[in-house]
Amino acid sequence: MTRALFIIDPQNCFMDFEGGDMPLPVPGALADMKRLATYIRNDPHRFDAIYVTLDTHPVDHISHANRWVDGDGNNPDPFTLITHGEYKRKIWRATKPTDQVLQDFYLRRLEEEGRIHTIWPIHGQKGEFEYEVEAELSDALDRWSELTGNQVVYVEKGMHRDTEQFGIFAATVPVPGAPETYLNRKLVDEVNQFDEVEFAGEAESHCAKDSIDQ
C-alpha cells in the first residue's frame, strides 16, 4: 500500500495568529496545522510522499485590487465581488487599458463555471513571512524527511497574473497560450501512482476544496 499526503496552502498568510495581522486568516487554521503536525510526527512512515502547495502571486495578480478600478478610478475594497454584468456596464474596469479584453474574458468564463470573482488582499508574496509554511508544520515536515529519506515536494500555484488558481492541478480559468494554467497532467500522473491520497490544508471553502474536486 502506497500513500501520499497533499497539504494545501499551509502558509502563514492563512493562519489565524493572535493579533490578526495576516492577509487572509482562516478561522481555526493554526489549530489545523498543529493537529496535522502531530499526525505526521506520530506516524511518519504512513506516507511515501508529501506534497505541499504554496499560494504564489505577483503583486498585480488578477485577484488583487490594483487590477481593477471603478468609474472614479478607485480600487475595490478587499472581498468585493465583481460580476461580468458590472464589468460590461463599466461599474468596474481593468486598471490598464491593455487588460480590458482579457479581464472581460476572465469574468465571463468564470461565471460560466458558476463563480463570481472575489478581490483578495495582496497575499502570496515570496520573501515575506506570510508566504512561509507555518512553523510547527514545517518542523514536522523536516523531521519526516529525516526519518524517511524523502524530500517534501513543494508546488507553487497561482503565479500567472491573469487567472485565479485555488486548486493544485489547474487554474480556475485557463489562459490561452499559457500551458501552465491548464491541467497539470504530470502531477496527475504522479498522484495516480499511489494507492491512497490524503488531503489536508486551507481552506475548505476554496483551495482545499478545489484541489479535491480537481
C-alpha span between 167 and 25 (Å, rounded): 18
Q: Is the pLDDT of residue 81 over 90?
A: yes
Please report the pLDDT score of residue 205 as a whole number.
Answer: 83
Please report the pLDDT score of residue 206 as a whole number.
Answer: 87
CA distances from 39 to 5, 21, 62, 132, 140 (A): 11, 27, 36, 20, 9
Please report the pLDDT score of residue 178 as a whole number.
Answer: 95
The grid coordinates listed for 146 are 529525516
* pTM over 0.85, yes/no: yes
C-alpha span between 176 and 15 (Å, rounded): 34
pLDDT digits (tens, 9 = 90+) for 84-125: 999 999 999 999 999 999 999 999 999 999 999 999 999 999
Average pLDDT of 59-83?
Answer: 98
Average pLDDT of 177-193?
Answer: 95
The pLDDT-based confidence of 204 (bands split at 50, 70, 90) is confident
